[in-house]
Chain A
Amino acid sequence: MSEKFKVTIDNIVIEVDPGTTILNAARMIGGDIVPPAMCYYTKLQGSGGKCRTCLVKVSQGSEKDPRPMPKLVASCRTTVMDGMVVQNITSPEVIEARKGVVEILLINHPLDCPVCDQAGECHLQDLSFEHGAEQTRYEFKRRTFERIDIGDKIQLHMNRCILCYRCVFTADQITNERVHGVLNRGDASEISTYITKAVDNDFSGNMIDVCPVGALTDKTFRFKNRVWFTKPVDAHCECDKCSGKVTLWYKGEDVIRVTGRKDQYGEVQDFICNTCRFDKKKTSDWTIEKPTEIDPRSVISANHYEMEHMLPVIDKKIM
């Protein structure tokens, strides 16, 4: 099948290849109509369908069968059909459902953003800021766990985990044998390594990058600084294990953290190895390319006037 499917997402028509998901079709259009995604990750096979934040309404199934889908569908797992009509932000039902999903995700998530190292680049923070309610209605005790060290460089805060399974898929993808997974079911489920076996794979650090919340954090960066006081810089190095393309996070003269390069949806472009991530913390190890482009609305670009991005309120014509 070489023909293209015509999809309408929030009244914008786009032609995509058959087999594309609604989420990816929306990302081709870009802008505000892209559904948020907490668990779906382009680079991880089989991810998606867990968090339900990407719910959309399909008001017309296809050209041949124009009936609407009976329930809201997860756009990351639903492929497009020819003549499909999708509503995301134009449907009040979707907005309402997403608010409920955020509330569910936050039921057990501790509100320790002032302590959490992920704050400022946390997807759950963005999501609850944009879609969530101001107050929680949950009156019971949140589930709590002790902090677990996975290896000597990664720390797992199970309290903060939203069970998106991204790290599990990462572990499945980078190793042949399963090193960690989700134990137990339902409310009791938790991310764990088998018999607390340390993950010692060369690419295990990517679990930190794929984690949308602060459940998996870099121990070498723990409490070092807040994300918005550091300056991200694109850099690369010669590495025989990975592509070597990273983002360095500077505080003054020091590299305090190395991460993979993330795109606008917070997904890393290339997985990087642990040597690059944890051991090369000197400027002399790297060839610096340019400052990383940060969304001007992000807290990371707060007080960085050198970024020279005009805020959207300013009319381009008067520049």
Chain B
Amino acid sequence: MESLSNRKKVLEQKPMTFMERMYLPAIFQGLSITIKHFFRKKPTIQYPEQKREFSQNFRGIHSLKRDEDGRERCTACGLCALSCPAEAITMTAAERKPGEEGLYREEKYAAVYEINMLRCIFCGFCEEACPKEAIYLDGDIAPANFERDTFIYGKDRLLEPIHNKVQNS
């Protein structure tokens, strides 16, 4: 039947020539390309030991920030969890007791703050939603693991360590 669009390409299947049937020239051509690559610069790096530099807007693992006095910035307002399209964030709020003013910035804080790194798609919406500049995706690539529960990151792994500057003073 005649093609309507006339865009069909008819392929001709020619019988192979003597040189093609010998295969050897083609094999040597392929080998020469392979050997050429031995003397080229390697584009790969040895990943866990060596690391590439991240771009400016790279989004890695989250970290919960502290303010200049070393107090936790997060007030458990829940806007990160609300904005999270993957529903990876959960938290439980608690009230700051008298005497804990050096630990928490506001009268409410996150007693439990968990991010499921298996659910997280690293979109950075939580960072944008945060009114307290408490969460940033400035960490590394989320490491692989064999256990599923190890991907639920609690405050022990998310919270930024207290700055050295504060500890000295």
Contacts and interface: CB of A to CB of B under 8 A. Distances in A.
A114 interface: yes
Given A222-B95, A223-B95, A115 B78 contact: no
A299 interface: yes
| B interface, over-half SS | loop
Interface string A49-85: 0000000000000000000000000000000000000
Nearest to B74: A114
A223 B131 contact: no
B108 interface: yes
A263 interface: no
Given A113-B131, A114-B132, A226 B107 contact: no
A119 B78 CA distance: 11
A226 B81 CA distance: 10
A223 B77 contact: no
Contacts of B79: 114
A155 B150 CA distance: 40
A302 B107 CA distance: 26
Interface string A202-231: 000000000000000000001111101100
A303 interface: yes
Interface residues of A, number: 15
A77 to B, nearest CB: 36
Given A223-B93, A223-B95, A223-B108, A114 B82 contact: no
Interface residues of B, number: 16
A114 B130 CA distance: 9
Interface string A289-313: 0000000000100110000000000
A181 to B, nearest CB: 27
A226 B78 contact: yes
Contacts of B82: 226, 228-229, 299, 302-303
Interface in B5-30: none
A299 B132 CA distance: 19
Contacts of B95: 222-223
A130 interface: no
A112 interface: yes
| 7 tightest Cβ-Cβ pairs between the two chains A and B | A114-B77, A226-B78, A223-B93, A114-B75, A115-B108, A114-B131, A223-B108
Given A112-B106, A114-B131, 4 more contacts: A115-B75, A119-B77, A226-B77, A303-B82
Interface of A: 112-115, 119, 222-226, 228-229, 299, 302-303
